[in-house]
Amino acid sequence: MNDINYLEMLPVSSITKYAKGQPEKGVPFTGYPRVHPSDKNSLILVNDPLGDEPKVLEFKLEDILFVEEVPSAVTEAGEGVPLVKLWVQKGAVGVILEPFEVK
């Protein structure tokens, strides 16, 4: 099972939605949100989930200021992929999980 399939099996996290303009102290990240598989205080965001090189980002829930819904992406099979825009506190530490092939 690859990483993306594993993340798709996890439930979506619930965070407060935001509907007013851009937060001044936040930086936006757009992607497919998932609950972290082992840390209930973190969230996984798959950036560009249908692209050639999706990135898996990890943020602490306490660093997420707001969430905005954005239009869903659609797979070639016509399935919708729900996307959100997370506003993360400036200065917060995030993690990029990058898969690579061992040669």
pLDDT in tens, 26-62: 999 999 998 898 999 999 999 888 878 889 999 999 9
pTM: 0.72
> Cα separations (Å) of 90 from 25, 39, 58, 71?
6, 22, 15, 25
Q: How confident is the model at residue 5 (pLDDT cuts 50, 70, 90)?
A: very low
Contact 31, 53 (CB under 8 A): no
**10 or 31, higher pLDDT:** 31
CA atoms within 13 A on the CB side of 85: 14
Query: Across residues 94-103, what is the average pLDDT?
Result: 88
pLDDT exceeds cutoff 50 at 2 = no
Highest mean pLDDT among 11-25, 63-77, 83-97: 83-97
Q: Return the bridge partners of 33, or none.
A: 45
